[in-house]
Structures are given as C-alpha cells and as structure tokens.
Amino acid sequence: MKILDFLSPETILTELKSGDKKGVLEELTLPIAKITGIEHKELFRVLIEREHLGSTGIGNGIGIPHGKLKNLPSLILGLGLSRKGIDFDALDGKPTHIFFLLLTPEKSTDLHLKLLARISKILKEEGFKEKILNSPDRDEVVRLIQGIDQEF
C-alpha cells in the first residue's frame, strides 16, 4: 500500500492559513469536497464529531484527523502543513505542524487502520518530518512521499 495511491496533489496544502483546529479542518476538507463531490459541511461535520471523541493530534507536531463516511466511494487523503504550528489539542501539548487528513468509506475499517499505521510509520522515519515541513511546494512534498513510499 502506497500513500500516493490515496493522496492527490490537489489535496496537498503546503501553507495552511488557519490558526486553530476548526480552521485547519475547514481548509483541509475544501479540496477533498471538490474532488469527491461530497458537501464540504458534511466532511467537516464528520471530522468534528471524531475530534469530540478525542484529539487526533498525536504529538511530535503531527495530527491525523480522520473520519468515515457512508457515501464516500473510496479512501482519500489530504495533507496540510502549518509552518508556525497550531494548537490542535495534541497529546504532548505542543503545536501541530503536519496534518494528514484521512477519510474512508464507512465499511473499510481494515484499510483505514492499515493507512493510519503506514502514515505513523513514515512520520517516525528519521528526518522525514523536517524534510516535509521544509518543502517549498507540493511537488517537493510529492517527491518526498514518493521516495519514502519506495522504501517501505
């Protein structure tokens, strides 16, 4: 399973503007709404409901907001970078800089868990977080993910 099988360049935002959790979720869902045809409000609602169960800010500058939708035809990923970092209620209390947004069809638990594990694994890879955070544009982000996708 490769991350780029699910991450479209259009869903990579290298300069998130928002300064809070809700704003970041809004920003990250806009390109996904455009690609999937699912109403932006619905995508946002699913993510906010999930955040109420517990923060998806896992710490070390990383957030993996995720949710399931019954009318989503296939899994889709988004990625966002906040250079200054935002308070995403991370487990370690530190600002979050890298966001992988994961939306899956309601009945695809296995794929959902596999992709969450894969994302977590690559973000633990030495130096990868710094490289992706310092990427000047989405083309560089894609190249970096392509490179690490080859390694695993």
Q: Work out the widest C-alpha separation in the chain, in whole angstroms.
A: 38
Q: Rounded to an integer, what distance in angstroms lies between the CA atom of residue 76 and that of residue 3?
A: 10
pLDDT of 149? 83
pTM of this prediction exceeds 0.85: yes
Cα–Cα distance measured from residue 147 to residue 64, given in angstroms and rounded to the nearest whole number? 21
pLDDT confidence bin for 152, thresholds 50/70/90: low
Q: What is the pLDDT of residue 78?
A: 97
User: What pLDDT is recorded for position 48?
Assistant: 96
pLDDT in tens, 9-52: 999 999 999 999 999 999 999 999 999 999 999 999 999 999 99
40, 52, 66, 97: which is the annotated catalytic residue? 66
Tell me, yes or no, if 112 is annotated catalytic: no
Structure tokens that stand for 28 in this block: 């990250």
Contact 131, 16 (CB under 8 A): no
What phi and psi, each to the nearest 5 degrees, are found at residue 111? -65, -40
Domain ranges of the chain: 3-151
Provide the CATH number for the domain formed by 3-151 in this structure. 3.40.930.10
Angle subtended at Cα 147 by Cα 142 and Cα 152, rounded to the nearest 5 degrees: 120
Interatomic CA distance for residues 110 and 115, integer angstroms = 9
pLDDT in tens, 99-150: 999 999 988 778 888 888 889 888 888 799 999 999 999 999 999 999 988 8
The confidence band for 63, taking pLDDT boundaries of 50, 70 and 90, is very high
Q: Where do we find the tokens 């609602």?
A: 45
